[in-house]
Amino acid sequence: MRGLAASLCVLAVAVTGAGCSGGGGSSSGKVANNSQACTLVSRLDTIADNVAHANVADPSGFRRTLDDAVTQYATTVRELQPLVPENVRTDLERVEASVRQYRFDEAAADRTSLDEFAENACGRAPTTSAPSALSTTSVSAP
């Protein structure tokens, strides 16, 4: 149960850090389809929110929520890849692989270029709390 709760915390931090608030950012880093890309990045926030509000008192229900979130997150990352610059695509491949393997700390570390893209293209404020939260959270595989 503690391993699942830790997984919840790390997944929520990992995918929330990649969130997009919408609005206009600077023109640097802009690519075609920013609106679509920002919508997908925003979807990552929704996925994280669903996990963050999952009932950890119900282990099987939580497990379903976590498993569904992993699938949705990885699928969203894959949909996002053709809409972002090449350097972000490369990192997103690693993020997707890490998430599918429930290695949320690795996924969070590999999403730096996505965070920068979301800041520039979507107007999302930089995330400053994710690294410290991740450094104190352990994750156990399912």
CA 15 from centre of chain: 2
In a domain, residue 41? The reply is: yes
**Which pLDDT does position 135 carry in this prediction?**
29
Judge whether 134 lies within some domain: no
pLDDT recorded at residue 33:
62
Residue whose tokens read 């994280």: 48
Write down the residue that tokens 């509000």 correspond to: 53
Q: State which residues form the domain around 101.
A: 2-21+31-126
User: Is residue 16, in this structure, part of any structural domain at all?
Assistant: yes
> Which pLDDT score, from 0 to 100, does residue 95 have?
93
Overall number of domains in the chain: 1
Map residue 51 onto helix, strand or coil. Answer: helix
Contacts of 97 (CB under 8 A, 6+ apart): none
How high is the pLDDT of residue 27?
37
Positions of the chain with pLDDT under 70: 1-33, 126-142
Q: Would residue 38 count as lying in a domain? A: yes
Whether residue 71 lies inside any domain: the answer is yes
The tokens for 59 are 């282990």
pLDDT value, residue 141: 43
* Domain membership flag for residue 137: no
pLDDT at 127: 54
pLDDT of residue 17: 47
Q: For the residues of 100-113, what is the DSSP string, one character each?
A: HTT-HHHHHHHTHH
CA dihedral of residues 70, 65, 61, 138 (deg, nearest 10)? 60
Question: Is residue 135 assigned to a domain?
Answer: no
Which residue, among 120, 116, 58, has the nearest Cα to 92 in the 3D structure?
116
Residue type, 4: L
Give the C-alpha distances (Å, rounded to integers) separating 43 from 36, 70, 109.
Answer: 11, 13, 19
The answer to whether residue 131 sits within a structural domain is no
